[in-house]
Chain A
Amino acid sequence: MIRTENLTRLFGDKKAVDSLFLDIQPGEIFGFLGPNGAGKSTTVKMLTGMLAPSGGTALVAGYSVSEQPLEVKARIGYVPETGALYESLSPDEYLEFVAALHHLDLASARHRVDELLELFSLLDVRGQRMTEFSKGMKQKVVLCASLIHRPEVLFLDEPLSGLDANTAMLVKTLLKRLSEQGRTVFFCSHVLEVVERICTRIAIINGGVKVVEGTAQKIMDETGSHTLEEAFARVTGVRDAAELTSDFLAALEKA
């Protein structure tokens, strides 16, 4: 469903993503992890057709992101980390707009808007402009917009950001159900507990290079770690958190 070979992206001389190989099957929830600036978002932008690769190839839902970007875009849903949407519109207006962009007829669009708004408990505010919405409510609308055209592949960049515990649980369950239907989920998050719990496979990227890939258990075994968090820290080379915090607290006490 997602296959990349030698996928590379340069910004000037800097390699944001360096020769990335991925092979993700239908029905997988694939966790894509990395520290800030590691190249996760650049990878997602290339896979969603938002940014042209500098080198290599990428196929999503059977289509090349470079050669057939519109075919790819028709089959994917995307939740950006920015949670961007047109806030001056109401959820109803925004979702109908997105439905029109995906060529859904009006009746189907209205039906799906109703379904999604009900699922995310937004029916009461469907006609209100989103300028007054909380971050979590806006995130719910972004999630609805990514699902309205029933995509084959979902790219989620921090999808649980701002969501309350109940909605987060709902989204996690929904993702599992979607994967059972054979849809592929590409999941980027810094919440490692969630990634560990729901992802069937995980890759960790650092400095644009994939450093490890496999199931959570395999990664822990390979790195000799007890938790995914510990494994992540080891492969991305951060200083010991306990040591860092004690330095800071000592400085704070002196002040």
Chain B
Amino acid sequence: MLGFLFEALEVDPRQWGAMVRVALKLDLRRGPKLGASRDSESGLRNLVFLLIMQFATSIILLTLVLRNQNTLLTSLLVLGFLMLMVVSSLLIDYNTIVVSPDDYWILSHRPISSRTFFLAKVTGVVVYVALMTTALTIVPAIGFGFVGGFRPLVAVGAMVGFYTSTLFCALLVVGVFAAVMTLVRPTRLRNALSYLQLFTSLVFYGGYVFLPQFFDTFESQMSLATDPWLLLVPLSWFAAFIQLASGDYSWPVWLGVSLSMASCFGLGFLAARRLSTGYMRALAEAQAAGAGTAAGKREGKITSTRLFKSHEGRAIAVLLWNQFRFDQKFRLAVLGILPLTVFYLFMAVSEGIQDPFRGLDAAMKSGNVLYVAVLLFPLMLKPSLTYSEWHEASWVFHTTPVRRERLLASLKNAVVIYFLAPYLLIVAGVFWWFYESAWHAAFAVGLAGLLAYVLLQLSILTSPDLPFSKPHGRSQRSARLLVVFMIGPAVGYTTPIAIGAVAQSPILLAGLVVLPASLAVALEFLVKWRIRRMA
């Protein structure tokens, strides 16, 4: 059966098997090379951490499933979350499975057909997606089996729906990447892929923000049989599996199931027949175009380093600013955070922003999500300052008389000066407009900025890595983002509430600032101490 399939797809099974095995081994073994502990299993560790985090998240999904008797509503919610998680992981951590520069030099002169190469890539993606799907949905799927009595078939239907939905996501992402590779001019390919990544991350963040609100508007009695218009939303195609297993055999349910399977087959067929043939060539052209046009496009200009007095500070300022100017990936990682603010601003404005100094009630509606955005900004930026395609160039830090603690202090200062401070100014403007008090806005933004600074210090304390010194690895950023999205909102939401609680007492207000300020000072010493110990 498998042999027939390979023959039909014109794929070499032996080469395919060898490539898939090696790709998985590499991902699980890939670890840091310079300036960090020699942990050759960090790829495995990252993946396990991500899966544990996703499993923990699945418990929350389980409570949702068990609390609501409408399986359509909850399955749409779980599917929405699942598909967003999978797509964002594919875009953030696994895009190099599809477009890897290493493969070009190692594999492109071997006698591998484009289709074999492409299928090996798709298989790698599907393996990871299957792991993520299992971690995120096995518990909620079992939960579905207990809604309205013990119905194990519903649990099976849920798993089928979940796996089909993420297969759809995987094929869609790989298909879109491959289509972009074959349609866009090689010289513009890298930029096109980066913008595609930015666009889809917008969808991810948007989903993160809007999905809960969207589902709040659903009516609890909604079903596919009575509301077939729901089939316009692809999520419902996959939810139809659960409805079918629950005993709903109405035509919209059958149509949903058919649409889900047809979409997977259609995407698979398109990828196998059209995209796979030109894939290897497109990859080669992209690499060659990159090499041929990278130099001389923009003239280098040394940035102003007057703000930095130490030699390390000047070096970091030059490095960071020029990475932002010339490294498309880094630039997009920074710019990709900004849409989050726009979404949060939109949310805050739609909920109404009140001055937290007016008391606890007002503090609950004082644009809390904007505080979250301020706190998330440096935390999300930190990984982009550590991982780089050109990580091997960090040997320069090890062979020059620089002091690591000064380098990291400079890095932190540069993040504050170049990124956090301008960002805080924008938020301050928004607060000033809504709070109608410059002093209140300044205090709120100052406190949020101070807390962001503390979180940045904590982030450096936990991983005191040299700038741009580690290779990108699978699951790293997804796992970190999950942690960030837990800490950021927790601290962010409570900050204005704390202001509201102590607004009447100047002493307590001062204490609210002194506490994180003291923490910042203590962390400054702790970071230095840890770095000295590492040396």
Contact = CB atoms under 8 A, between A and B. Distances in A.
Interface in B369-411: none
Contacts of B31: 88, 131
Interface in B277-309: 281, 284-285, 288-289, 292-293
- Where chain B touches its partner, the secondary structure class is helix
B519 interface: no
Contact of A89 (B22, B105, B113): B22
A5 B454 CA distance: 65
A129 B293 contact: no
A50 B284 contact: yes
Contact of B14 (A82, A86, A93, A100): A100
Interface string B1-45: 000000000000011011101100110011101000000100000
Given A11-B288, A51-B285, A129-B40, A86 B110 contact: no
Contact of B40 (A12, A51, A88, A97): A88
B18 A42 contact: no
Nearest to A98: B110
B416 interface: no
Given A12-B293, A129-B29, A102 B111 contact: yes
A125 interface: no
A73 interface: yes
A101 B25 contact: no
Contact of A70 (B25, B111, B285, B288): B111
B111 A86 contact: no
A116 interface: no
Contacts, number: 85
Interface in A114-156: 129, 131, 155
B29 A88 contact: yes
B130 to A, nearest CB: 22
B109 interface: yes
B288 A51 contact: yes
A74 B111 contact: yes
Of B19, B21, B104, B106, most A-chain CB atoms within 10 Å: B106
Contacts of B18: 97, 100-101
B106 A85 contact: yes
A249 interface: no
B40 to A, nearest CB: 6
A84 B284 contact: no
Interface of B: 14-15, 17-19, 21-22, 25-26, 29-31, 33, 40, 102, 104-113, 187, 281, 284-285, 288-289, 292-293
